[in-house]
Amino acid sequence: MSNVKIGVIGFGNMGRGHVFNIVSGKVPGMKVAAICDIDEGCRKTAQEKYPNIPVFADAEELYKSGLCDTVIIAIYHYDHAAYAMKAFEYGLNVIVEKPAGVYTKQVKEMNAAAAKQDKVFSMMYNQRTNPVYQKLREMVQRGELGHIKRITWIITDWYRSQAYHNSSTWRSTWATEGGGALINQNPHQLDLWQWIFGVPDRVFAKVYFGKYHDIEVEDDVMAFFEYDNGTTGEYITSTGEAPGTNRLEVSCDMGKIVIEGNQMVFHKNAVSEREFEKTNTQPFGKPECEVVNVDVDFSGGEQHVGIFKNVVAAIKEGAPLLAPGQEGIKGLTISNAIHLSGWTGEIVETKNFPEDRFYDMLQEKIKNSSVVKAESKVVADTTGTY
User: In this structure, are 35 and 141 located in the same domain?
Assistant: no
What is the total count of domains within the chain? 2
Domain boundary among 293, 311, 331: 293
Q: Has residue 352 been placed in a domain?
A: no
User: In this structure, are 99 and 149 located in the same domain?
Assistant: no
Check pLDDT > 90 for residue 1.
no
User: In this structure, are 287 and 178 located in the same domain?
Assistant: yes
User: In this structure, are 157 and 246 located in the same domain?
Assistant: yes
Q: Has residue 359 been placed in a domain?
A: no
User: In this structure, are 229 and 142 located in the same domain?
Assistant: yes
User: In this structure, are 149 and 270 located in the same domain?
Assistant: yes
* pLDDT at 377 (0 to 100): 37
User: In this structure, are 57 and 132 located in the same domain?
Assistant: no
More confident: 364 or 383: 364
d(CA 335, CA 27): 31
Q: Has residue 12 been placed in a domain?
A: yes
* Domain span holding position 97: 4-127+303-323
User: In this structure, are 135 and 266 located in the same domain?
Assistant: yes
pLDDT band, residue 230 (cuts 50/70/90): very high
* pLDDT at 55 (0 to 100): 98
CATH code assigned at 114:
3.40.50.720
User: In this structure, are 256 and 108 located in the same domain?
Assistant: no
User: In this structure, are 285 and 308 located in the same domain?
Assistant: no
Q: Has residue 24 been placed in a domain?
A: yes
pLDDT band, residue 379 (cuts 50/70/90): very low
59-89 confidence digits (pLDDT tens): 999 999 999 999 999 999 999 999 999 999 9
The rounded mean pLDDT for the chain is 95
Burial of 115 (0-12, 13-18, 19+ CB in 10 A): exposed
CATH code assigned at 142:
3.30.360.10
Q: Has residue 42 been placed in a domain?
A: yes
User: In this structure, are 236 and 183 located in the same domain?
Assistant: yes
Residue 322 DSSP SS3: coil
Q: Has residue 337 been placed in a domain?
A: no
236-249 confidence digits (pLDDT tens): 999 999 999 999 99
Average pLDDT over residues 153-166: 97
pLDDT band, residue 374 (cuts 50/70/90): low
308-318 confidence digits (pLDDT tens): 999 999 999 99
**DSSP element (H, E) containing 212:** none
Q: CB within 8 A of 383, min separation 6: which ones?
A: none
180-192 confidence digits (pLDDT tens): 999 999 999 999 9
Check pLDDT > 70 for residue 258.
yes
pTM for the whole structure: 0.94
DSSP 5-44: EEEEE--SHHHHHHHHHHHTT-STTEEEEEEE-S-HHHHH
Contact 69, 5 (CB under 8 A): yes
* pLDDT at 317 (0 to 100): 96
d(CA 106, CA 112): 10
Q: Has residue 138 been placed in a domain?
A: yes
User: In this structure, are 135 and 264 located in the same domain?
Assistant: yes
Check pLDDT > 60 for residue 383.
no
Check pLDDT > 80 for residue 8.
yes
Check pLDDT > 50 for residue 386.
no
Q: Has residue 59 been placed in a domain?
A: yes
* pLDDT at 372 (0 to 100): 73
